[in-house]
């Protein structure tokens, strides 16, 4: 599956602010911005509201397991993401790390079910190694900056540049996203200038007093 670039990926995680039906309010705000600016925004909601969010906005899962259907209690399946009208998944987020062989299998499952694979990496070296699996995106997020007030594009611009270089040398078809501390129009603008094809955000949206305004401010950096 292909999407228009650049792209804004909003990971709702399991923040208190988006539990239950509150996740739908983020989805509705994102839909308004998509329609206003004709941009790509993907939302990764908590799993229990996945199907409801997918009725509103392009939706990806926060995680999938490296298995097909069967006796796997508690597993999140790529096939089911597809069946529930999802379009992709995060893989190997810093808060949900999985072994390399599982990452490879998850990318293969995404390919099988025509889902977008967004594999997260902590730095440019890990990004290079994981790019060998041929995901659609590598999202580089230095863990020490996640949830903070300083963005990766400001604090560590060299990480983005080196990640783009490493990934493209390994897997030319794989694009790079960046995340960690991204909260402003300028953060996004800098990231794209450094070669990123979009950003992965969470707290900068979820914890905002005005969700729609926060999303629009980030999208302005993509335009």
Residues serving a catalytic function are: 93, 141
Three-state helix/strand/coil letters over the chain? CCCCCCEEEEECCCCHHHCCCHHHHHHHHHHHHHHHHCCEEEEECCHHHHHHHHCCCCEEECCCCCCCCCCCCCCCCHHHHHHCCCCEEEECCCCCCCCHHHHHHHHHHHHHCCCEEEEEECCHHHHHHHHCCCCCEEEECCHHHCCCCCCHHHHCHHHHHHHHHHHHHHCCCCEEEEECCCCCHHHHHHHHHCCCCEEEECHHHHCCCCHHHHHHHHHHCCC
């Amino acid at each position: 599956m292909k999407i228009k670039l650049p792209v804004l990926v909003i990971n709702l995680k399991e923040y208190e602010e988006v539990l239950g039906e509150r996740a739908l309010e983020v989805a509705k705000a994102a839909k308004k911005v998509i329609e206003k600016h004709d941009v790509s925004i993907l939302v990764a909601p908590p799993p229990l509201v996945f199907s409801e969010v997918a009725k509103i906005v392009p939706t990806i899962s926060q995680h999938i397991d490296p298995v097909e259907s069967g006796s796997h209690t508690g597993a999140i399946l790529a096939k089911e993401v597809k069946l529930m009208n999802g379009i992709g998944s995060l893989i190997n987020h810093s808060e949900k790390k999985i072994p390399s062989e599982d990452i490879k299998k998850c990318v293969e499952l995404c390919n099988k079910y025509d889902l977008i694979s967004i594999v997260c990496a902590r730095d440019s070296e890990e990004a290079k190694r994981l790019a060998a699996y041929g995901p659609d995106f590598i999202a580089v997020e230095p863990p020490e900056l996640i949830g903070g007030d300083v963005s990766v594009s400001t604090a560590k611009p060299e990480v983005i540049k080196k990640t783009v270089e490493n990934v493209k040398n390994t897997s030319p078809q794989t694009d790079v996203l960046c995340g960690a501390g991204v909260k402003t129009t300028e953060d996004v603008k800098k990231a794209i200038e450094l070669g990123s094809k979009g950003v992965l955000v969470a707290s900068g949206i979820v914890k905002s007093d005005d969700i729609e305004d926060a999303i629009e401010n980030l999208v302005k950096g993509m335009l």
